[in-house]
A = this chain, B = another copy of it.
Amino acid sequence: MFTGLSAFPLTPVTDRGVDEAAFAGLVERLATAPVDSITALGSTGSYPYLDRAERARVARLAVRHAGDVPVLVGIGALRTREVLALAEDAQEAGAAGVLLAPVSYQALTDEEVFGLYAEVTAALSVPLVVYDNPGTTHVTFTDELHARIAALPGVASVKIPGVAEPAARVSRLHGLLPDPVTIGVAGDPLAAAGILAGCRAWYSVLAGTVPEAAAAIARPAFAGDAAAATAESDRLAPLWELFGRCGSLRVVSAIAEELGLVAHPNLPRPVRGLPPAERAEVTRLVAELDLRR
């Protein structure tokens, strides 16, 4: 469950709340796609923008519509009290595991980040994925902090951000982390390189909306076919460039609109969809890169 391709679906929202029908449709699409797990309420699923009742409902919908595919659920929140409540809700919903990012407002010390994971893992009865996402949480994990946290009971995987030269970091982490803890790469543009460097999981934004396009990279990458994986990743370079320029969330939101999977708007304000020029680029890329598969 903590290896292979994990798909992060959007949670489409309107002013009236979560668009539950569209969310269920996104999850059903993933249940029949070649993905190894579904992670609901990741950053792509806008978890920190939703309230507790919405998140509990989304977790239940994800489990109900995922078929046999295991569902992980994001439980991150600013306050430990809230994280513990969300962990209960996720487990009651039937999550096979949870994903926890150290969301911050006041900058956190390493001791505070460790304390959060210690407190939460002590209360959990399902495995946990450590969600290292400095772009949104503004927490930087040292390898040593990863090692301390990964030694806590129930930690199953560590999701690290993509880096341009992943081999050194992945090899150092493999040396520091307990053996059963997998290392997974995030940051789709650098995923092929991460997998080829030894990451055993890919926590993927793209797979949540266009799973075939992500699987076309993941399959050869996990099989060690560097040439094929790199070629398929390079083919999507215009998409990766747009991810970098506008944020992957806004781009996959526009792709999902283009494919008719979600209505517009579908992001939680103040976050908004792409401006018109970039939105037109997405229309063009969906056709040129054959993302309707």
Q: Which residues of A contact B (CB under 8 A)?
A: 15, 43, 48-49, 51, 78-82, 102-103, 105-109, 111-113, 115-116, 119, 135-136, 138, 247, 249, 268-272, 275
Contacts and interface: CB of A to CB of B under 8 A. Distances in A.
A116 B270 contact: yes
Nearest to A116: B270
Contacts of A115: 269-270, 272
B116 A269 contact: yes
Given A107-B247, A113-B270, A138-B138, 20 more contacts: A43-B106, A48-B78, A49-B78, A49-B105, A79-B269, A79-B270, A80-B269, A81-B268, A107-B135, A107-B136, A108-B271, A111-B272, A112-B269, A112-B271, A112-B272, A115-B269, A115-B272, A116-B270, A119-B269, A119-B270
A208 to B, nearest CB: 15
18 contacts: A43-B105, A43-B106, A48-B78, A49-B78, A49-B79, A81-B268, A102-B270, A103-B105, A105-B136, A106-B271, A107-B135, A107-B247, A108-B270, A108-B271, A112-B270, A112-B271, A113-B270, A115-B272
Q: Which of A15, A43, A80 has the most CB of B within 10 A?
A: A80
Contacts of A82: 51
B135 A270 contact: no
A264 to B, nearest CB: 16
The 8 closest A-B pairs by CB, nearest first: A116-B270, A80-B269, A49-B79, A48-B105, A112-B270, A79-B268, A80-B270, A105-B136
Nearest to A49: B79
A43 B104 CA distance: 12
Which residue, of A78, A102, A106, has the highest number of chain B Cβ atoms within 10 A? A106
Contacts of A49: 78-79, 105
A177 B48 CA distance: 33
Contacts of A272: 109, 111-112, 115
Contacts of A81: 15, 268-269
Nearest to A101: B105
A125 B112 CA distance: 39
A110 to B, nearest CB: 11
A48 B82 CA distance: 12
Contacts of A108: 270-271
A81 B79 CA distance: 20
